[in-house]
């Protein structure tokens, strides 16, 4: 009988999962080319570039045609441009809704209860935990733009242009440009990279107004400009780049402690730095990048889904990717006029897995994440106190009034372990992408092995990683 690593037979392996008699044959729908576990293991791969620079995804991820989202139904006729100035970023902080008030008053108690899942004796952050949290939170996105006395729309505009160098601007095909930008993005520190073309449908995802009240207007002339009342966007700006930043992996697994929250602080302190470099690089080529990374121009989840970076999941605002689970921060957006090749949406079975997993909502003690199935329905404002709920898609919607932004959900997602810590994660993730037979087992990994949630105190004795990122996630 074929052995996996010459130690465990396929039958014994499946029996260990509680699937005696099922065998690997029960999961042959994964790919008819796999005959045993050794072949599945050797086929596993991370997010690297293949020939021609295209993104090579894990073997269990399939691509869909442009504009299709196999795991997210969209009714574009119901999608309307939202007014960002009327959408509170964190309504939880100001809301007088009874649940929001309760959550604020009992935050420390609820936080401890979540963390004690992995650390029963944990009594709160130590002074060194608070010191790390404070150090990582000192420099946030506004620090990069306030000294420059400019907005994020046009950016610094400091890099020399081709014209100033007496050189022609860069001219390349859409495919060449996409490969070039992916290389630059990686160099500057971005993790994932995707492109969506703006058309009459996807334009609806761009906010009608920014939080400062200025309108985003698509104009017929060729004038890119910011005035006191509007941002003028010429029609040549039709390529929306979506990019992400990998969070410190081991800190992410210590959320929702304040030590764990340092992972988000650190990411947000770097995102603007990366964003400025990206914007100035595009300027140096002879084009423009309209900097939308902060969420002022457009929401992150729709463009991340359409660009194929990940899938819409039960965590609502947090996109889950096949390679990094929920360990990414800043689903950043940048609109540009350099011609690019759009990337394709994916089907990795993540949304389908969320149907039965519910791990994130189980540990959301603030009751912000939904426990039910995806729906077209929006939140009722009178009941929830929410000022805004997005329309036009069948999915999950966050109760922003309840959400304390503790990010516990990001620590508990079983996909955080996919293909990174051992072969079994990649195997089960691949199986769950097409059949639910392993879903309960995969969800229980977090419960029994704490792959997604760890004792905060243990971080100080953990192996050190550059920028806190386990190399397996790079």
User: Domain limits of the chain?
Assistant: 3-43, 60-347+360-417+450-473
DSSP string across 122-175: --S--HHHHHHHHHHHSS-THHHHTTTT--TTT----SPPTGGGT-PPP---HH
- pLDDT confidence band for 381 (50 / 70 / 90): confident
Instruction: Please give the Cα distance from 456 to 250 (Å, whole number).
Output: 9
Instruction: Please give the Cα distance from 308 to 66 (Å, whole number).
Output: 9
Q: How far apart are the first and last CA of the chain?
A: 36
pLDDT greater than 80 at residue 461 = yes
- For residue 16, what pLDDT is reported? 47
| Whole-number average pLDDT of the chain | 81
- For residue 342, what pLDDT is reported? 94
- For residue 23, what pLDDT is reported? 42
pTM of the model: 0.85
pLDDT greater than 60 at residue 32 = no
Taking residues 347-356, report their average pLDDT: 88
**Percent of residues, the chain, with pLDDT higher than 90:** 44
- For residue 8, what pLDDT is reported? 44
- For residue 433, what pLDDT is reported? 55
pLDDT tens digits for range 34-72: 444 444 444 444 445 554 446 677 777 888 776 656 678
Taking residues 340-356, report their average pLDDT: 90
pLDDT greater than 60 at residue 91 = yes
Q: Which two tokens stand for residue 422?
A: 């051992």
- For residue 24, what pLDDT is reported? 45
Instruction: Please give the Cα distance from 94 to 108 (Å, whole number).
Output: 18
Which spans in 255-376 are helix H? 258-285, 300-306, 350-357, 359-362
Instruction: Please give the Cα distance from 184 to 154 (Å, whole number).
Output: 19
Instruction: Please give the Cα distance from 341 to 287 (Å, whole number).
Output: 16
């Amino acid at each position: 009988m074929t052995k996996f690593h010459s130690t465990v037979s396929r039958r014994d392996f499946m029996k260990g999962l509680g699937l005696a008699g099922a065998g690997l044959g029960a999961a042959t729908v994964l790919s008819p080319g796999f005959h045993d576990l050794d072949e599945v293991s050797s086929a596993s791969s991370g997010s690297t570039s293949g020939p021609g620079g295209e993104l090579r995804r894990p073997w269990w991820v399939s691509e869909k045609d442009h504009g299709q989202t196999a795991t997210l139904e969209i009714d574009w006729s119901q999608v309307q441009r939202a007014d960002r100035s009327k959408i509170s970023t964190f309504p939880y902080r100001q809301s007088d809704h009874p649940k929001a008030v309760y959550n604020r008053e009992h935050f420390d108690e609820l936080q401890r209860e979540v963390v004690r899942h992995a650390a029963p004796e944990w009594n709160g952050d130590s002074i060194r935990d608070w010191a790390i949290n404070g150090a990582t939170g000192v420099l946030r996105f506004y620090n990069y733009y306030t000294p420059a006395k400019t907005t994020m729309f046009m950016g610094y505009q400091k890099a020399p242009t081709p014209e100033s160098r007496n050189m022609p601007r860069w001219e390349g095909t859409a495919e060449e440009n996409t490969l070039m930008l992916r290389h630059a993005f990686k160099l500057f520190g971005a993790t994932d990279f995707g492109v969506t073309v703006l058309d009459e449908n996807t334009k609806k995802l761009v906010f009608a107004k920014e939080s400062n009240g200025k309108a985003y207007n698509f104009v017929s002339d060729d004038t890119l400009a910011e005035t006191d009342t509007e941002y003028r966007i010429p029609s040549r700006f039709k390529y929306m780049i979506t990019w992400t930043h990998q969070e410190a992996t081991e800190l992410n697994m210590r959320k929702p402690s304040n030590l764990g929250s340092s992972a988000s602080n650190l990411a947000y302190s770097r995102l603007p730095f990366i964003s400025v470099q990206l914007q100035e690089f595009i300027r140096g080529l002879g084009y423009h990048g309209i900097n939308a990374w902060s969420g002022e121009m457009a929401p992150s989840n729709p463009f991340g889904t359409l660009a194929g970076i990940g899938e819409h999941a039960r965590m609502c605002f947090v996109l889950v990717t096949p390679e990094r689970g929920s360990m990414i921060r800043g689903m950043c957006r940048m609109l540009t006029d350099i011609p690019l090749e759009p990337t394709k949406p994916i089907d990795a079975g993540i949304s389908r897995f969320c149907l039965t997993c519910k791990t994130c909502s189980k540990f959301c003690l603030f009751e912000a994440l939904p426990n039910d199935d995806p729906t077209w329905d929006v939140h009722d404002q009178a009941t929830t106190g929410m000022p805004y709920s997005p329309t036009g898609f069948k999915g999950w919607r966050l109760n922003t009034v309840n959400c304390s932004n503790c990010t516990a959900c990001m620590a508990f997602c079983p996909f955080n372990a996919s293909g990174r810590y051992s072969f079994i994660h990649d195997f089960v993730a691949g199986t769950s992408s097409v059949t639910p037979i392993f879903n309960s087992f995969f969800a229980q990994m977090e419960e029994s092995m704490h792959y997604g949630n760890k004792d905060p105190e243990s971080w100080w004795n953990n192996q050190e990683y550059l920028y806190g990122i386990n190399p397996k996630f790079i």
